[in-house]
Amino acid sequence: MKDLTPAKSTLDPIEIASRDEIESLQLERLKWSLRHAYENVPFYRSSFDAAGVHPDDLKSLADLAKFPFTVKTDLRDNYPFGMFAVPREQVARIHASSGTTGQPTVVGYTQGDLDNWASVVARSLRAAGMTRGDMLHNAYGYGLFTGGLGIHLGADALGLSTYPISGGMTPRQVRLIEDFKPKGITVTPSYALSILDEFAAQGMDPRKSSLEVGIFGAEPWTNAMRLEIEQAFDMHAVDIYGLSEVMGPGVSMECVETKDGLHIWEDHFFPEIVNPETGEPVADGEQGELVFTSLTKEAFPIIRYRTRDLTRLLPGTARTMRRMEKVTGRSDDMIILRGVNVFPTQIEEALMATSGLAPHFQIELSRPDRMDQMRILCECADNSVSGEQRAAAAKALSAQIKQTVGISVSVEVADVGGVPRSEGKAVRILDKRPKA
């Protein structure tokens, strides 16, 4: 793999400013953001009033902990535009979550917000090793989802040659990688695996493709998966994180030269980690739930938003801005199986450590005889694997899970293609337990 480290001279000065400089900018912007939310969004005015706090009470960054949290249901209760802080005509762009399980969450951006979004995504793509004139294959979905259009904004700002292929039509994904010869690909890690399979189906070697870096996010993925993808494509694999409520992709980004967690673009997004049960802030370095406050957003300021994503904050390395460790999962994706907390990423890790299996999986939960059961549906690496070898792989995976996670599961090893493929975010959990 080529060294893609960006030249220091190309970074935004704030990326490598001193902590003092970063914190004084944050304090100034935080004061503005709290006041902006309080004065323009009735929801924030009443939630601050109910908690007995006023924007003037913020004298230091630590004072933010006095302010109330915002949660997903607050956004749903104010559907569609109740959380907007500017007149509707000043909203230049609207995105929304899929809303498959109820009311979609709607977010808005002024032109100024779009400019800031472009700048943090450009910074993220540069941190991945992309530079002006490089070609990008953007396979995140275009539409109400922030992935496709968010990446596109930043790619334009950085001066890349981008083609908006979006997700789906996998044979065409491979065809264009072959024909256009992009340097980078932006895609969910699970869809990257589908593209990888398609290379094999077409009898082509992905290691010979032009790709030098993959920029993967929108769902959790493990370091074991990173190694698998890097090996398979002979390219760098880096992590990009974000969420619609806070902006979209580009809230934080891993640097290609260190691959040691994601630098949060702290000049726009202020992070905290809180204990998910008590809501109390915890010290940097401790695990908990990530909470974000926007520092510059005009149309949709967000104050102390509970992301439900679990991680911890670490000091800066390649940049002075703090890092967040790779997200282990969401608190609402945590399965409690017979008293043990399990995340899909732990199953992914065990699967990657077992030979003879492909990296695709789904977790099925059922409750026969009032006891929760977990079944892992996975695939053999290729169909020539004999029945005996499959049984051995299933046994090895369940032993690995027993040893590392501490739970007993059954494993089914299907033929190649037996696990449904994703074209965007993978569906990892099928919950067939009776609803309470």
Among 67, 191, 199, 241, binds ligand DLL (CB under 6 A): 241
Residue 173 vs 398, nearer CB to ligand DLL: 173
User: Does residue 289 belong to the site contacting ligand DLL (CB under 6 A)?
Assistant: no
Interacting stretch for ligand DLL, rule CB under 6 A, among 60-68, 111-119, 141-149, 380-388?
Answer: 141-149
User: Does residue 292 belong to the site contacting ligand DLL (CB under 6 A)?
Assistant: no
User: Does residue 346 belong to the site contacting ligand DLL (CB under 6 A)?
Assistant: no
User: Does residue 147 belong to the site contacting ligand DLL (CB under 6 A)?
Assistant: yes
Alpha-carbon distances, residue 153 vs 129, 131, 204, 253 (angstroms):
17, 15, 32, 16
User: Does residue 261 belong to the site contacting ligand DLL (CB under 6 A)?
Assistant: no
User: Does residue 124 belong to the site contacting ligand DLL (CB under 6 A)?
Assistant: no
User: Does residue 185 belong to the site contacting ligand DLL (CB under 6 A)?
Assistant: no
User: Does residue 193 belong to the site contacting ligand DLL (CB under 6 A)?
Assistant: no
State the Cα angle at 138 between 136 and 139, rounded to 5°: 145
Among 190, 209, 244, 296, binds ligand DLL (CB under 6 A): 244
Residue 91 vs 385, nearer CB to ligand DLL: 91
C-alpha closest to that of 125 among 38, 253, 225, 10:
253
Determine whether 276 is exposed, middle or buried from the number of CB atoms within 10 Å of its CB (0-12, 13-18, 19+): middle
Residue 68 vs 189, nearer CB to ligand DLL: 189
Residue 228 vs 239, nearer CB to ligand DLL: 239
Q: Which residues lie across from 215 on neighbouring strands?
A: 186, 238
User: Does residue 218 belong to the site contacting ligand DLL (CB under 6 A)?
Assistant: yes
Tell the smallest beta-carbon distance from residue 429 to ligand DLL (Å): 13
**Are the CB atoms for 261 and 326 separated by under 8 Å?**
yes
User: Does residue 55 belong to the site contacting ligand DLL (CB under 6 A)?
Assistant: no
**Cα dihedral value 345, 136, 105, 108, nearest 10:** 140
User: Does residue 212 belong to the site contacting ligand DLL (CB under 6 A)?
Assistant: no
353-356: long-range contacts at Cβ-Cβ below 8 A with a sequence spacing of 24 or more?
353/224, 353/400, 354/393, 354/396, 354/397, 354/400, 355/393, 355/396, 356/380, 356/381, 356/385, 356/389, 356/390, 356/392, 356/393, 356/396
Interacting stretch for ligand DLL, rule CB under 6 A, among 24-32, 145-153, 196-204, 377-385?
Answer: 145-153
User: Does residue 307 belong to the site contacting ligand DLL (CB under 6 A)?
Assistant: yes
User: Does residue 309 belong to the site contacting ligand DLL (CB under 6 A)?
Assistant: yes
Interacting stretch for ligand DLL, rule CB under 6 A, among 56-64, 193-201, 239-247, 295-303?
Answer: 239-247
Interacting stretch for ligand DLL, rule CB under 6 A, among 115-123, 234-242, 274-282, 334-342?
Answer: 234-242
Q: Determine the residue with CB nearest ligand DLL.
A: 217
Residue 84 vs 216, nearer CB to ligand DLL: 216
Q: Which residues lie across from 281 on neighbouring strands?
A: 274
Residues contacting ligand DLL: total by CB under 6 A: 21
Among 104, 184, 220, 261, binds ligand DLL (CB under 6 A): 220
Tell the smallest beta-carbon distance from residue 93 to ligand DLL (Å): 14
Tell the smallest beta-carbon distance from residue 143 to ligand DLL (Å): 11
User: Does residue 248 belong to the site contacting ligand DLL (CB under 6 A)?
Assistant: yes
C-alpha closest to that of 361 among 265, 430, 275, 280:
430
CA torsion sign for 255, 248, 425, 335 is positive
User: Does residue 294 belong to the site contacting ligand DLL (CB under 6 A)?
Assistant: no
Give the separation between CA 213 and CA 136, rounded to whole angstroms.
10
C-alpha closest to that of 105 among 69, 72, 141, 142:
72
Residue 351 vs 385, nearer CB to ligand DLL: 351
**Cα dihedral value 21, 23, 27, 30, nearest 10:** 110
Give the separation between CA 77 and CA 68, rounded to whole angstroms.
16
Tell the smallest beta-carbon distance from residue 146 to ligand DLL (Å): 5
Q: Quick one: tokens of 314? A: 């670490």
Q: Which residues lie across from 305 on neighbouring strands?
A: 70, 292
State the Cα angle at 435 between 434 and 436, rounded to 5°: 115
Q: Which residues lie across from 135 on neighbouring strands?
A: 161
Tell the smallest beta-carbon distance from residue 331 to ligand DLL (Å): 10
User: Does residue 259 belong to the site contacting ligand DLL (CB under 6 A)?
Assistant: no
User: Does residue 249 belong to the site contacting ligand DLL (CB under 6 A)?
Assistant: yes
Residue 252 vs 354, nearer CB to ligand DLL: 252
Q: Cβ atoms within 10 A of the Cβ of 89, count?
A: 6
Which positions ≥6 away from 335 have C-beta within 8 Å? Answer: 341, 342, 343, 344, 363, 365, 374, 429
Q: What are phi and psi of 426, to 5 degrees?
A: -75, 145
**Contacts to ligand DLL by CB under 6 A:** 97, 140, 145-147, 217-220, 239-244, 248-249, 307, 309, 327, 330
